[in-house]
Amino acid sequence: MFSLVLKDILIHNKGWISIAQSIVINFFIVVILQFFGNSSVYIIFPFFISTSYSLSSCGLGEKYDVDIMINSLPVNRKTVVLSKYISSFIFFLIGVIFVIIFASIVKILPFGNITSFINIQDIIISFMFSILYIFMYLPIYFKIGYIKSQRINSILYFIIFVVLIIAVMLISSYKSSFKISFFIPWELCTIFLLIISIAISLKIYINREF
């Protein structure tokens, strides 16, 4: 399973120039988001990184016929499915690490508008929206593939992103009134969605023909 997760991460690596371009682009995204408030940076950016990287790994995998190659090897299909979910968690962690580094740099710049450090509330909210999207998308991806899923994915991503923006606006306005305990029911729902999503993906992918 580790090798499959590593494959999802390394498939984005197209050389040092590509990595440098990605870093610069992501840094400027943080620079832009900072003018909409701290919550916009710490919640939206990790969401953007985790969802875009997860989607990209699916697209590149289909482009290079990775699934066909993997299924020609003695690899358990359950392992393939679970590795996709684990990869999505790692992509979110990468997004958090990136935003901590970029925000720390922006804070010391003359035009820096970031006034606080990331907190557990920001991480929880960003994580919930990130995995909500991923949990809904992966069963669709395993069923019909990356290319055929793009129209559905565009609608799904738009809806979740709009709700995320509304959540960020509410949090920015009433941040002091939110407690960690407020998120416990949502976290339980997230775990429930995870179980359902994995079960559906497993059933689809195990019976899928390549």
62, 147 contact by CB (below 8 A): yes
User: How many independent structural domains does the chain possess?
Assistant: 1
| Residues of the chain with confidence (pLDDT) below 70 | 1-2, 7, 10-19, 64-68, 70-74, 174-183, 209-210
100, 22 contact by CB (below 8 A): no
pLDDT score for 56 = 87
pLDDT score for 138 = 93
DSSP code per residue over 48-63: HHHHHHHHHHHHHHHH
Helix residue spans in 76-210 (DSSP H)? 77-107, 120-144, 150-174, 184-206
Backbone angles phi, psi at 192, to 5 degrees: -60, -45
Q: Which domain holds residue 146?
A: 2-206
1, 79 contact by CB (below 8 A): yes
pLDDT score for 34 = 87
pLDDT score for 73 = 63
3-state secondary structure of 74: coil
80, 1 contact by CB (below 8 A): no
201, 81 contact by CB (below 8 A): yes
Compute the chain's Rg from CA coordinates: 18
- Alpha carbons 187 and 128: distance in angstroms, whole number: 7
State the distance between the two ends of the chain, measured CA to CA, in whole angstroms. 20
pLDDT tens digit sequence for 95-116? 999 999 998 888 888 887 887 8
Tokens of 145: 């593939």
- Alpha carbons 14 and 63: distance in angstroms, whole number: 14
pLDDT score for 76 = 79
Return the sign of the alpha-carbon dihedral for residues 159, 141, 23, 93: positive
Cβ partners under 8 Å of residue 54, min gap 6: 84, 87, 88, 91, 134, 137
